[in-house]
A and B are shown apart, each in its own frame.
Chain A
């Protein structure tokens, strides 16, 4: 789990990047209630200063995500750089020994190899991310026509990358392979 100060706005509100406007509202209301002064679930874990700090982050995240213009700018920045600070910091903590030489073409096989290298099973990923295991399998087998639209696959890849600790360029690389694969099918 990323340290709080390095989380992106979605992580702060515990939302998926695909969250709808309604979901953002609900998450915000819940978060405010959770970390308010009399929050039954939080007072014994966080002191007042910590809760204020969390509330500030929540407000900041909501300020951006609730405003369609600001949100789309933020989303674009998040996607373009591919390095929200969260994954950047995790990539930086990668020990050199775990690095597998990364080939030019990031096919599903490469993702699979990286995953196996990090000792995480598909089931474990499915369990933590709630991504349907059939999709996870399809990613590793390059079954592009079984996969949903690009935005979703991108989201999945980012979640997988976070768990198996691979660099953003792997995600980008796979997305290129995915796009080409889909185009060919058409």
Chain B
């Protein structure tokens, strides 16, 4: 397929795209979720394709460094990958971009064969995140790997919007909570510089402790009650941590309302506001499209799952969420 050079800022064909359009506001979304196989890559790819069909300039980043496969959902075969960049073979990140068959949609492919860089050094990582964010796109979507490795958490926290893809089954939900918890504490640690507070956070992470601090929410309230200014700062940190949840592969009404229950549990336990941006139906069209290496929203745009993607995308763009009332009205639960 096409190599990454076609998109470089210095290539005449695309010059106008890069130099004359002032990209005003950029939004970075990250799709994570803890467990493997919850649909992170499927969702990233299709959100990206849908956005570019709307005329947005979109970059999909396969940030699943150990196990990249986003390119398969798009049907492209990247010549260069992030590992070429991380290993210093290429110094210009733009040269690593792969053009896709969809106008306006580019892919920054993960490292296919280089397992050793699943956890790049912190310095490399910070540099990478910053370089990615500087690329000239209106939307950047990061497809994260499974698990709570720091690389995943840092990519997740670097995004403007963190999206969790959850399946309606116990293991997936447990892992999603583990992910939220890890990301939340990492986010929190960054805000709290005071050694004493950091220690309290670390202690609180270790299960239930004798101070009656049982949940992150208790911790915040405790900090607020003992140290006014610090507490307020941390409460601000809590306000700025607001992941979005997608329940994928739903098969029943209960699966659909599960998203609202997750929202409620997170509010009571973490003290954070989680937005339930929507569900995606379990649909054979998904794997049929996958087999054809064609994105679902192009292969079967009128399938039930593609419509679900549209609704999720609309909520993400409007910073809105699914309303219990409208679900009950349409499904008559």
Residues of chain A at the chain B interface (Cβ within 8 Å)? 1-4, 14, 22-23, 26-27, 30-31, 33-34, 39-46, 50, 54, 90, 93-98, 118-120, 124, 127-128, 163, 165
- Nearest CB of chain B from residue A178's CB, rounded to whole Å: 26
**Contact assessment for A33 and B177 in the assembled complex, using a CB-CB cutoff below 8 Å:** no
**Contact assessment for A118 and B257 in the assembled complex, using a CB-CB cutoff below 8 Å:** no
Q: Across the interface, which residues of A come within 8 angstroms of B231, CB to CB?
A: 93
Q: Across the interface, which residues of A come within 8 angstroms of B239, CB to CB?
A: 120, 124, 128, 163
Q: Across the interface, which residues of A come within 8 angstroms of B261, CB to CB?
A: 30, 33-34, 39-42
**Contact assessment for A4 and B232 in the assembled complex, using a CB-CB cutoff below 8 Å:** no
**Contact assessment for A4 and B268 in the assembled complex, using a CB-CB cutoff below 8 Å:** yes
**Contact assessment for B232 and A118 in the assembled complex, using a CB-CB cutoff below 8 Å:** yes
- Nearest CB of chain B from residue A3's CB, rounded to whole Å: 5
Against A, the Cβ 8 Å flags (1 = close, 0 = not) of B245-287 are: 0000000000001101110110111011100000000000000
Q: List 18 A-B contacts (CB under 8 A).
A: A1-B272, A3-B221, A4-B217, A14-B264, A30-B261, A33-B261, A34-B261, A40-B173, A41-B262, A41-B265, A45-B215, A46-B268, A93-B224, A95-B228, A120-B236, A124-B239, A124-B240, A165-B232
Q: Across the interface, which residues of B come within 8 angstroms of A128, CB to CB?
A: 239, 242, 273
* Alpha-carbon distance between A161 and B310 when the two chains are bound, in angstroms: 36
User: Which residue of chain B lies nearest to A57 when distances are taken between CB atoms in the complex?
Assistant: B268
Q: Across the interface, which residues of B come within 8 angstroms of A46, CB to CB?
A: 265, 268-269
Q: Answer yes or no: B11 CB below 8 A from chain A CBs.
A: no
New contact pairs (17) apart from A3-B221, A44-B174, A124-B239, CB-CB < 8 Å: A1-B267, A1-B272, A14-B264, A23-B325, A26-B328, A33-B261, A39-B261, A40-B169, A40-B170, A41-B265, A44-B173, A44-B177, A93-B224, A93-B231, A98-B228, A118-B232, A128-B242
Which of B218, B228, B258, B325 lies in contact with A3, CB distance below 8 A?
A: B218
- Nearest CB of chain B from residue A167's CB, rounded to whole Å: 14
* Alpha-carbon distance between A128 and B261 when the two chains are bound, in angstroms: 19
* Alpha-carbon distance between A129 and B168 when the two chains are bound, in angstroms: 28
- Nearest CB of chain B from residue A19's CB, rounded to whole Å: 10
Q: Answer yes or no: B296 CB below 8 A from chain A CBs.
A: no
The winner among B217, B240, B264, B271 for most chain A CB atoms within 10 A is B264
The winner among B217, B239, B267 for most chain A CB atoms within 10 A is B239
* Alpha-carbon distance between A124 and B169 when the two chains are bound, in angstroms: 33
**Contact assessment for A98 and B229 in the assembled complex, using a CB-CB cutoff below 8 Å:** yes
**Chain B interface size, under 10 / 10 to 19 / 20 to 34 / 35 or more:** 35 or more
**Contact assessment for B264 and A41 in the assembled complex, using a CB-CB cutoff below 8 Å:** yes
- Nearest CB of chain A from residue B269's CB, rounded to whole Å: 4
* Alpha-carbon distance between A93 and B220 when the two chains are bound, in angstroms: 12
Q: Which positions 159-204 of chain B face chain A at CB distance < 8 Å?
A: 168-170, 173-174, 177
**Contact assessment for B236 and A119 in the assembled complex, using a CB-CB cutoff below 8 Å:** yes
Q: Across the interface, which residues of B come within 8 angstroms of A43, CB to CB?
A: 170
* Alpha-carbon distance between A119 and B211 when the two chains are bound, in angstroms: 30
Q: Which positions 279-333 of chain B face chain A at CB distance < 8 Å?
A: 319, 324-325, 328
- Nearest CB of chain B from residue A139's CB, rounded to whole Å: 19
Q: Across the interface, which residues of B come within 8 angstroms of A41, CB to CB?
A: 173, 258, 261-262, 264-265
Q: Across the interface, which residues of B come within 8 angstroms of A27, CB to CB?
A: 324
